[in-house]
Amino acid sequence: MPKIEFVDVTNRDGDQTAQIVCSKLQKTMINWMLDQMGVYQSELGFPLSPHETNYINANVELTQECPANNGPLIEQMQLSGWSRALASDVKIAQERTALKHFNLSISTSEQMLQWKFRGRFSKQDIIRMMVDAVTAAKEGGAVTAGINAEDASRTDLDFLIEFAQAGKEVGAARFRYCDTLGYDDPVSIAERISIIAKEVQMPIELHCHNDLGMAVANSCAAAVACCRAGQDAFINTTVNGLGERAGNADLVACVLALQYSSQWADENWVTDRINLSKAYRLATYVSNAYGVPIPINQPGVGANAFAHESGIHADGALKDRHNYELYDYECLGRGELCHSSTGRVITAGAHSGASGLEYVYNQLDLGFSDEEHKREILKLVQLANLHNQAPLTREELWFIYHCPEIAAKVMTVIP
């Protein structure tokens, strides 16, 4: 039975959101949390960008070994990099990084061919460049190479089929249909994806933007259509719907829609690996890391997602929660009381000393083997606070303690 998996692009497309920035350490923590939630793959960045090199290679190391875990810290999730579908770019990316999974992107619509590429390339040129890029990736040791049709929703359907088929023939693992401008609607994208899946017979990724407020609906409708046509589907998401312009399809909202909506819930398309109980912690961390508040009405994780004030609603929810709540807040990892100290607070940061650091780590049930160990971690904690320009979280402190060499690499942005 075909299944729907999730390829999260928070650390690539979400990281391109205008006017915000996230540190490499924070992006690493997001990858770790995405793995814990059961996401299939994280498109973690741009392997061609020099400032991403150490971060990418350090995260690849985390998929292989972590002493504190007696195995990898990122246990199941694949890490992929985004590249233009140019053989030259792919070769450089493989020289710089240890990535084994790539998503190779090129524009396909008439609009882009005429007004982005200025008529320099024909449709056959586009296919040739994509084929050359996939070939280069596979020859360079890539395990998978996906092919991305940018602006697919404004591209002639016959050309998309030809494009996908050509990629499949040279070993492309998936075809990514990019609704780059949020132009599609749930009906149109489901119809187009169904045709492509049946004609090409390969797994399809859905990459939908939210310019018309339909990214979640479009992603889910298309993924279901792909599964009904007999192929696995992969939905591209970002945490909290981050992304360029109006954002991308929100990870939590997509999972909730597929697991609780009237028809899709019964069809059970979503992979069993997804663990929604990690959702609230992930959403909160990403909000703090990127400095973008979660809207109070955000599905599942917003402050008002389970709030009732109307007398009728409050009465109904108190009698039986399912009168006015479609799903339980506990399933999202919510419901615990949050406490903050009103007395003495000791923090770890750029100005910390050895005694304060030892106190903070004692609260995490972690101690130091000797003075040298303590000084090593203190230096990294100070650098991490400067690197993040934000207070360090429990997860970050834990990671620095258990993976100091990798933490140092992540925070070194000059390769």
Separation of first and last alpha carbons in the chain: 44
- Model pLDDT, residue 173: 98
Percent residues over pLDDT 70 in the chain = 99
pLDDT, mean of residues 243-254: 98
Q: What is the mean pLDDT of residues 290-296?
A: 97
Of 293, 312, 313, nearest in space to 303 by CA? 293
Are 272 and 40 spatial neighbours (Cβ–Cβ below 8 Å)? no
What per-residue confidence (pLDDT) applies to 71? Answer: 84
Could you tell me which residues are beta bridge partners of residue 80?
A: 43
Length of the chain: 415
pLDDT at 45: 97
The alpha carbon of residue 369 and the mean position of all alpha carbons in its chain are separated, in whole angstroms, by: 36
Q: What is the pLDDT of residue 148?
A: 98
Q: Which long-range contacts (CB under 8 A, 24 or more apart) does 368-371 make?
A: none
State residue 67's pLDDT score.
Answer: 67
With 90 as the cut, is the pLDDT of residue 243 above it? yes
DSSP state of 330: G
Q: Give the three-class secondary structure for 139.
A: helix
The CA distances from residue 136 to 60, 90, 122, in Å, are 21, 7, 21
Confidence band of 216 (pLDDT split at 50, 70, 90) = very high
* 109: confidence class by pLDDT, cuts 50, 70, 90: very high
pTM, two decimal places: 0.97
Q: For the chain, state the CA radius of gyration.
A: 22
Which of 401, 398, 331 has the alpha carbon at shortest distance from 37?
331
- Tens of pLDDT along 71-93? 899 999 999 999 999 999 999 99
> Tokens 């981050």 sit at which residue?
242
332-347 per-position pLDDT tens digit? 999 998 888 899 999 9
C-alpha 155/C-alpha 218 separation (Å) is 17
3-state secondary structure of 107: strand
Mean pLDDT of 366-376: 96
What's residue 128's pLDDT?
98
Compute the average pLDDT of residues 245-270: 97
What Cα–Cα distance (Å) separates residue 81 from each residue in 103, 117, 178, 262, 274?
6, 23, 16, 36, 22
**Rounded Cα gap, residues 133 and 145, in angstroms:** 9
- Supply the mean pLDDT for the chain: 97
H/E stretch holding 92: helix 87-96
Q: How many CB atoms lie within 10 A of CB 161?
A: 17
User: For residue 337, what pLDDT is reported?
Assistant: 87
pLDDT digits (tens, 9 = 90+) for 26-74: 999 999 999 999 999 999 999 999 999 999 999 999 999 776 667 899 9
CB atoms within 10 A of CB 42: 26
- Mean pLDDT along residues 292-319: 97
Region 196-210: mean pLDDT is 98
Q: Cα 322–323–326 angle (5° rounding)? A: 45
Q: Which helix (H) or strand (E) holds 149?
A: strand 144-150
pLDDT(178) > 80:
yes
Question: Taking a C-beta distance cutoff of 8 angstroms, is the pair 248, 13 a contact?
Answer: yes
- pLDDT of 340: 84
